[in-house]
Amino acid sequence: MNTPFKIRLLIFILSLCFVATAVTINLTSRKEEVLNYDARILESNLHNKENIVKEFLANPVNISMLKNLHKDGKLAAYFINDFIEQNGIYVFTYHKQSLLFWGTNMVVPETDAGLSEGSRMIEWQNGWYESIKQTSGDFSVVFYIPVKAQYAVENRYLKNQFSTDLLRSNNLDIAGLNDKDDYNIRNADGKYLFSVKLRHATNNSIYSLVEFWMWLLAAVFGCVFFTSFCSRIVAQGFPKTAVVVLFSILLTLRLFSLQYNWLGSHFDLPIFDPRLYADNFFFPSIGDLLLNVIATTWFLVFVYYNRFKIRLSDFQLSKWVSIVIFVLLGLVISLVAMQLNNVFFGMITNSKINFDLSNILNLNAYSWLGILILCITVLNLYLIVEIIIVLSTTLNLSNKLRSTLFIGGLLVVTICKLIIADYSFYYLLFSLIIFIRGFHIYKTDASFNLGIFVFTVLVLAVIASLKLSEFNLIREHEERKVIVQRLESSDDPNAIVLFSNLEKSILKDELIAEYFKSPERDYSTFNNRLQRSYFDGYLSRFDFKTFEYEYNGKRFENETSSLNHYRDLVVHGAIKVTDYFYRINNTFGYQNYFALLPIVENGKTLGTLIIDLKSKPFADVNNFPGVLEDSKMNSRDNFSNYSFAFYHSNRLIAQSGRYVYSLSNLDFSGKLKSFIFKNRNGYNHLIYQTNDSRLIIVSKPRVTWVMQLASISFLFLVLLVFSFMLVMIGWIVNAVDNYDLSSNGLSLKAFMRQNRILYKTRIQASMVAAVVLTLLLVGAVTYISTSVQYQEQQKENVVGQINKVIAAFQKQMFSNGELIINEQTFNIFAESNSTDLNYYDSSGKLVYTTQPKLFDYGLISNRINPLVYINMHEFERSEFIGSEHIGGMKYLAAYKPITNRNNETIAYIGLPYFSNVHDYEARIGQFLNTLINVYALVFVAIGFFAVFIANRITYPLTMIEKSFREMKIGHKNEKLEWKRNDEIGSLIKEYNNMLTALDDSAQKLARSEREIAWKEMAKQVAHEIKNPLTPLKLGVQLLERSYREKDPNFNKKFEKFSKSFIEQIESLSLIASEFSNFAKMPETTLGDVNLREVIDKSIEVYKNSEHLVINLNDELGGTFIQGDPEQLLRCFNNLIKNAIEAIPADRPGLIQINMQKKDRRAAVSISDNGRGIPDGLKDRIFNPNFTTKSSGTGLGLAFVKQAIENMQGTISFKTSHDEGTEFYITLPLVG
């Protein structure tokens, strides 16, 4: 059992083990186990928090400190930062059940009355807490441990989940009294606190996570096993079968997963959610798209690594058949490119994923996943091109014919596109990549070339970026059409949902009934209360008016009644949207609703309340805090990046955004119910005409060439980084294949040895690395500096704003030194200053606020931030600015004291700057995007500049390398010229001196070799001449003796010896001719030669020899070389003849001829199964007088060697005793 088989067996066993583990987990894990596992983690972490409290209370010094917190500001500030913030445990102290100190403003119990000693669960408006109380006389301290948030609304800032300090998963929820299958949570002393249960459809437990990883590892090891198995099939000489087998396996696995939606239904992973992306059966989710792309890559990499072993046909194809196959291969590349284009198009247009590369910071995890898919797709396209080009090299076509077919096909495609008016040029860029790769493979050795690689990546980045912009534009146009239809609509679905709940609350509101019964009515107070209670938040985007009518239909305050007007609207011009709310028809540019609400008490009608709501102009919609947004509400105002206008009879009636529209419509003309896009003034405008007089225009800034260039640069960098990662993966895989996982095998030196990193490449990499590190350092410093400056600027703005507010407050709210304030005047004051304000009394308790729902929902308590109170009350600071948070939303808040005429603090004004988070993120995001785009452009420019500089620096070395390569002993070698007196000049000077010395040595060597050669030649000539002369001499002597002795058979002997003499003389003539021919080799005439045809002719001569088999393995196809066809034919004839003669008569002859491409040359090997060449004769095999046969001149191999070298080729051999000899010949390819 060999090592590869053992490794494959181990991989297979590991894959089965992972499958068995996953199946076991799936069959044995139950929901009860998930509940118990997470509940134990929750309980354990809760006990840890309790132990912190116990350890703290066990120290009497800490108890003494707690009693002094409300009197010692420094101690209180230290305690808040050191204990409360660090441990996430809130602390409150009381004296006689009255609050002394509060350590947070998230929740503040005003009294501890009713709270028992020890531990218990407490439910507040914003969540669940475990309280721990300890009392000492009249003093008591209460610790609150946040357990689970429970907000009235949920959004990106507010999540109803357990505290992350206690539980990070989101599988559990608080159980009710009637819930079954729950787990009781107890404190560290064993006292029951609360129960938890599993959420519905919980699939993200630790067991499902482990199961997912087991299946993933099983899939990876399974693919490795099948790939290894297919590699074995390739090694046995069946590459096509291996390709089909691996393709079938991967296709079967993917079809099974797609058919049963196994991953999406079994694992709760967002990437398999079709709401994020879905295209068709093969691409039902972004996760399945990723798996499809990875499976395709796995298959293509396998084919790529075996591309030179795959032949389109096992026999020689005719030229016409080769042409047809070449055209079909081109069509395959085109169809694959079109399909990948469609996949890319679907990924962008059929998803909710953001692919806007002009705002890189807005890219989320799914965006980067999509970019990764794009990179892998580009890799797949590159692999397909490489594979098909290599396959086409086996066709019986010359490079000239290949170029002609390629250019002809390109012209045909261009003409067809012009006919159908398709003026896209992407196919030209893609054709450029194919041409470059084809030229590199056909004309060179297809080895790695950094310049060609970088250029290829750049062109692919250009194509990808332009396609991305095109598809994003198509998607944006469709989204803009939806926006136009929303603007045209008179309905606001979110408002209608709120109306249903709002009308029920108003009808049950007892204070409204009291208002109708009261003889003295304060309309302003009533109106403000309605706004505060019902029309803030989302509905604050409506201007609302109220009209109150008595039961008899008369309006309050004896004004003219308009109740009949609304009743007429109900009958004729309004649509009922809820039980009491109606929508007015035929509005344009706004929505208009009204409600007729009967005010009833105990079955008696008190009157009618009419509420009239009209949407504000879009530019005037107040931005209420994002923390109050309800995630259940689908915001229809996603217009921040758009400008739009409403025209009625060509007159502007409403507009919003940065684009300035004309009062009279002179620029835009629409078509009824048609979407028309038009470019004007740097914007792209969508024009939609709803009827003959109404026109809606939605505009967006166009993508500038600078933004497009930045996008190209960004994608270029991403593809380069992706390529670098692939190189690193290949390096590691190579180390694994070589069983070298040591530190030396994975070192940088090993990488450089394996990949032959050139000197110029190292210079380029060093320059780029230096620039990148500098840019990163400068960018980091710039970013930090800008962030700090902007934060300081925000603080200065907040300080300036609150100073103006305080100055105005002192003037407007004080009369004769006395503060005159109520809720109505406070709200009017805040609105006049266009800001949110909170008003606290001197004890830090909230009195008035412009955002009452923050407190009504219990998102924060009605107590001022404790650090603010400490600084303002204890330290008596004149102002305080700090960062606060509600849930996950952080914001700046500024505070200043309100003083009376005696300069005594009577209240505090707080200004929460809710928009600073959005402003900060927008400003910093814009700055970072600009910085990244600029740096991307600089990086690309520096990269190309580095290539240019490196080439200039290494030019002398390249020149010297070329001279070394072209230097030949015995020929005239040109000296190099270098005018500068530097290191290169010294090197060239030594090189020239070496050439002079080499020429002298070459002349002496040539003279010596000639003398030795002539001596050897003379010996051989003498030896060859002596052989026929000896029988001639003996024959003459015998004839002379017969003649003297009058031999009667003299005539017969004379005739016999005459024939022998003639044969010997002809032998002498042949010897003289062969030596003469060798001395004057025929002139080599180089031309384009089809090497396969020459070898076929040689094989044809000897293929009918008895007991002989000649096999030919051609991996070159119809490749042409530079050579002399006559001399090549004679060379191969000599080699095959020698091979045949070297095989013993008692042994079946086998001659194997292999043809392949290697290092930009054609490589031919001819092997036999003969006796081999003895060790003592190996050094003389190419000598002119060498032969292993009993007869012959020994000039055959000498001729072969000289002929091959005259064609700029090489010849060598290796031999084994009694096993055979193999000759290796390399010849230059055409071009």
Model confidence over 651-691: pLDDT tens digits?
A: 998 888 888 899 998 888 888 889 999 998 889 999 999 88
Across 244-269, average pLDDT: 85
Domain boundary among 598, 624, 650: 624
Do 304 and 431 share a domain, yes or no? yes
pLDDT digits (tens, 9 = 90+) for 30-40: 778 888 888 99
Do 1047 and 1094 share a domain, yes or no? no
How far does Cα 474 stand from its chain's mean position? 22
User: Please, what is the Cα angle at 1153 between 1150 and 1155, to 5 degrees?
Assistant: 165
Percent of the chain exceeding pLDDT 90 equals: 21
The torsion angles phi and psi of 683, rounded to 5 degrees, stand at: -120, 155
Q: Is the pLDDT of residue 797 over 90?
A: no
CA distances from 1145 to 1100, 1107, 1141, 1171 (A): 21, 9, 9, 11
Q: Which residue has the tokens 């096999």?
A: 1111
- pLDDT for the residue numbered 1190: 45
What is the rounded CA–CA span in Å between residue 177 and residue 642? 51
More confident residue, 1014 or 402: 402
Q: Which residue has the tokens 């396609």?
A: 467
The torsion angles phi and psi of 761, rounded to 5 degrees, stand at: -65, -40
Domain boundary among 599, 624, 649: 624
Do 165 and 252 share a domain, yes or no? no
Do 821 and 691 share a domain, yes or no? no
8 Å CB contact between 816 and 876: no
Range of the domain at 667: 640-703
Q: In what order do the strands lie in the sheet with 581-584?
A: 542-550, 604-615, 592-601, 581-584, 574-576
- pLDDT for the residue numbered 738: 59
8 Å CB contact between 608 and 549: yes
In a domain, 13, yes or no: no
Under DSSP, is residue 78 helix (H, G, I), strand (E, B) or coil?
Answer: helix
Across the chain, mean pLDDT equals 82
> What residues have CB less than 8 Å from 16, skipping those under 6 apart?
218
Q: Is the pLDDT of residue 1195 over 60?
A: no
Query: The domain spanning residue 1173 has which CATH number?
Result: 3.30.565.10
Do 909 and 1056 share a domain, yes or no? no
* Range with lowest mean pLDDT among 225-234, 250-259, 442-451, 470-479: 442-451
pLDDT digits (tens, 9 = 90+) for 813-865: 888 778 888 888 888 898 888 888 999 999 999 999 988 888 888 899 999 99
pLDDT digits (tens, 9 = 90+) for 49-96: 999 999 999 999 999 999 999 889 899 999 999 999 999 999 999 999
Q: 845 has which bridge partners?
A: 863
CA distances from 33 to 29, 130, 187, 838 (A): 7, 25, 21, 49
Q: Is the pLDDT of residue 1115 over 80?
A: no
What is the rounded CA–CA span in Å between residue 176 and residue 163? 19
Q: Which residue has the tokens 């949570």?
A: 185
Its sign, for the CA torsion 896, 899, 904, 905, is negative
Domain boundary among 900, 925, 950: 925
What is the rounded CA–CA span in Å between residue 763 and residue 956? 14
In a domain, 1096, yes or no: yes
The torsion angles phi and psi of 664, rounded to 5 degrees, stand at: -110, 135
- pLDDT for the residue numbered 939: 73
In a domain, 957, yes or no: no
Maximum distance among all Cα pairs of the chain, rounded to whole angstroms: 179
In a domain, 719, yes or no: no
8 Å CB contact between 1133 and 1101: yes
Do 457 and 347 share a domain, yes or no? yes
Q: Is the pLDDT of residue 560 over 60?
A: no
What is the rounded CA–CA span in Å between residue 874 and residue 73? 6
Percent of the chain exceeding pLDDT 70 equals: 87
In a domain, 694, yes or no: yes
What is the rounded CA–CA span in Å between residue 111 and residue 116? 12
In a domain, 748, yes or no: no
Do 437 and 497 share a domain, yes or no? no
For residue 247, the surrounding DSSP H or E stretch is helix 239-260
DSSP per-residue letters across 1001-1045: HHHHHHHHHHHHHHHHHHHHHHHHHHHHHHHHHHHHHHHHHHHHT
Q: Which residue has the tokens 């390398």?
A: 961
Do 498 and 574 share a domain, yes or no? yes
In a domain, 616, yes or no: yes
What pTM was estimated for this model as a whole?
Answer: 0.73
> What residues have CB less than 8 Å from 1009, skipping those under 6 apart?
none
Q: What is the dihedral of CA 1033, 1036, 1038, 1041, to 10 degrees?
A: -130
Q: 814 has which bridge partners?
A: 819
Q: In what order do the strands lie in the sheet with 880-886?
A: 846-849, 838-841, 905-913, 889-899, 880-886
- pLDDT for the residue numbered 1162: 87
Query: The domain spanning residue 899 has which CATH number?
Result: 3.30.450.20
Q: Is the pLDDT of residue 582 over 60?
A: yes
Under DSSP, is residue 692 helix (H, G, I), strand (E, B) or coil?
Answer: coil
Do 263 and 380 share a domain, yes or no? yes
CA distances from 668 to 310, 676, 677, 693 (A): 61, 10, 10, 13
Q: 882 has which bridge partners?
A: 893
Q: Is the pLDDT of residue 1105 over 50?
A: yes
What is the rounded CA–CA span in Å between residue 478 and residue 471? 11
Do 280 and 297 share a domain, yes or no? yes
pLDDT band at 969, cuts 50/70/90? low
Q: Which residue has the tokens 């001197």?
A: 842
Burial class (CB in 10 A: 0-12, 13-18, 19+), 477: middle
- pLDDT for the residue numbered 767: 72
Do 1211 and 1101 share a domain, yes or no? yes
Under DSSP, is residue 88 helix (H, G, I), strand (E, B) or coil?
Answer: coil
Q: Is the pLDDT of residue 247 over 90?
A: yes
Do 464 and 526 share a domain, yes or no? no
| Number of domains composing the chain | 7
Q: Is the pLDDT of residue 918 over 70?
A: no
For residue 724, the surrounding DSSP H or E stretch is helix 705-737
In a domain, 25, yes or no: no
